Amino acid sequence: LPPLRRAIAAVRDLGAPVILYVGGSSPHLEAMADSGADVLSVDWRLPLDEVRRRVGEGVALQGNLDPTRLFAPLPDVRAATREMLATHPGPGLIANLGHGLLPTTPVDAVRAFVETVRAAAGKAPRGNARGKPS
């Protein structure tokens, strides 16, 4: 990990926060948490509560809904999002997918994910890209 630590330190020296994607690195989570990154971005294969237990409170987490869950009916997308959020009830979570969006992901499902996260955070829904309520 020394090269990773040096790269992260160089980016941090520029004043930028560092998000480190650790997908598929489950055996190395603890080392990744000590890398100097501000945030560990976690794929969908590990429950957030397990990741938090293993890495402690010194680093924020990002993730980790399975992107294929966005192909389910909208009520199921909302339920899956709430389930993901429930695995990390405290501060220090950036709600996101556990990997990138697939090109054919339904936009309405992405909207349902975002609205569910905002509702859980106690925030009002936002408008769409044109500034109109969705």
Peptide bond into 64 cis (omega under 30): yes
* Centroid of chain to Cα 128: 21
- Each residue of 76-116: pLDDT tens digit? 999 999 999 999 888 899 999 999 999 999 999 999 999 99
**Residue 125 confidence (pLDDT):** 66
* Centroid of chain to Cα 34: 19
**Residue 91 confidence (pLDDT):** 87
Average pLDDT over residues 5-19: 94
Given a contact cutoff of 8 angstroms between Cβ atoms, the answer to whether 37 and 8 are in contact is yes
Q: Which domains does the chain have, with CATH numbers?
A: 2-120 (3.20.20)
Query: What SS3 class is residue 15?
Result: coil
**Residue 6 confidence (pLDDT):** 95
The CA-atom distances, in angstroms, between 106 and each of 61, 76, 102, 115, 125 are 25, 13, 9, 14, 19
* Centroid of chain to Cα 26: 16
Given a contact cutoff of 8 angstroms between Cβ atoms, the answer to whether 38 and 9 are in contact is no
Please name which of 58, 12, 13 lies closest in space to residue 32, comparing C-alpha atoms: 58
- Each residue of 46-65: pLDDT tens digit? 999 999 999 999 999 998 99
Average pLDDT over the chain reads 90
Given a contact cutoff of 8 angstroms between Cβ atoms, the answer to whether 96 and 61 are in contact is no
